Structure 1
């Protein structure tokens, strides 16, 4: 199967995660999207709520979208969640699958800071979503990678890794940090949170 992987702290999961993932699935003709919350993110100091609450919110979203499936490989890990380590394990466990690692332009620009980032291209494709306010510098390392590896959505590629697919997505210019701030201020977030997520946050008095 063709599987999209969307990782993150999901603190909380919101439509800025959900909508682009659905667009990636539709435009790249994927079979499933695996939502992969991390337990110990390597690029952040901490999360605001526990792994238990974050994974429960992801489970609720998966119940409402048949295209989504929870991938708990990182949430169960007691060490930092390096993407290359995770993708190595996934390709070993599921050699029959073709993986598409979903990331926004903000993450793509900073990819050279990631642990063993170049090895990702030997494990999966990249599904690249634009994000407002982020643009590649013309002569940067990642601009060169995009030029070299860019593939058309309609390409009948024969290899299972190493390509970069640009996806037009329904972008919501908001971060989990902003959502947490607005939750703390009791601001209405109907436009950026799935109802199941809003209800769970209210029920458990999170981010208050």
Structure 2
């Protein structure tokens, strides 16, 4: 199976996470997408809500889509979650799957700061969500890597058919989303009850558990 993976704090999860995943799934004909919440993110401050709450909200969202599943592998660790270690573990557990690690252009540009980042290209394919107006510096190392590894859906399908499970970079143009976890948390802090960008189930969970107040 072709499985997309999106990691993040999801603090809280919102349509700005989900809509791009739907577009990626359709563009590359993925079988599933796994949401993978962090426990101790290595590149961000500690989340505002607990790991248990963020898992619960992500699970509520997954229940609304038959193609979306929760992957809690990183929440079971008591150490920072490094993507290469997670993907190596998933590769051993699911040797026949083709994993596509989903990230934005900003994350891709910062990959050289990630732990053992070069190993990613031997563990998975990378899906690069492209937003209008965002581009890499033509002189950057990551632009050179993108030019060497860039592929489209037909090349992905060919790689899957040949058993090539890693190494491609697949840019996918996505619709810009007006939502961010930071902005949503700021709205919730003011006591607003109706927050655009949250699924009803997530909004109800936040209210019931008095999160972000």
CA distance in 2, matches of 1:181, 1:39: 22
Alignment of 1:67-106 (within 5 A): 67-106=67-106
Please report how far the alpha carbon of residue 205 of structure 1 lies from its aligned counterpart in structure 2 after TM superposition: 1.0
CA RMSD of aligned residues (A): 1.3
1:179-207, CA deviations, whole angstroms, 9 ceiling, x for partnerless residues? Answer: 111211244422x1111111111111111
Residue 185 in structure 1 maps to residue 157 in structure 2: no
Please report how far the alpha carbon of residue 171 of structure 1 lies from its aligned counterpart in structure 2 after TM superposition: 2.4
Aligned partner of 1:49 in structure 2 is: 49
- 5+ long unaligned stretches in structure 2: none
CA distance in 1, matches of 2:206, 2:86: 29
CA distance in 2, matches of 1:186, 1:171: 27
Aligned partner of 1:34 in structure 2 is: 34
Cα 1:99–1:41 shift into 2, 3 Å: same
Q: Secondary structure at the match of 1:12?
A: coil
CA distance in 2, matches of 1:132, 1:186: 33
**Aligned residue pair count:** 207
Aligned partner of 1:144 in structure 2 is: 144
Moved more, 151-160 or 37-46: 151-160
Q: Secondary structure at the match of 1:40?
A: coil
Cα 1:185–1:171 shift into 2, 3 Å: same
Please report how far the alpha carbon of residue 133 of structure 1 lies from its aligned counterpart in structure 2 after TM superposition: 5.9
Provide TM-score, normalisation by structure 2: 0.93
Provide TM-score, normalisation by structure 1: 0.95
1:109-167, CA deviations, whole angstroms, 9 ceiling, x for partnerless residues? Answer: 11111000110000000011024663211110111111000001222223110000011
Moved more, 169-178 or 149-158: 169-178
Q: Secondary structure at the match of 1:25?
A: helix
Residue 165 in structure 1 maps to residue 170 in structure 2: yes
Cα 1:146–1:27 shift into 2, 3 Å: same
- 5+ long unaligned stretches in structure 1: none
Specify which of 188, 192, 200 is matched with residue 195 of structure 1: 200
Cα 1:40–1:73 shift into 2, 3 Å: same
Q: Secondary structure at the match of 2:102?
A: strand
Q: Secondary structure at the match of 1:36?
A: strand
Contact kept in structure 2, 1:19 and 1:171, CA below 8 Å? no
Q: Secondary structure at the match of 1:182?
A: helix
CA distance in 1, matches of 2:80, 2:209: 27
Moved more, 167-176 or 42-51: 167-176
After superposing on structure 2, the runs of 4+ consecutive aligned residues of structure 1 that deviate more than 6 Å are none
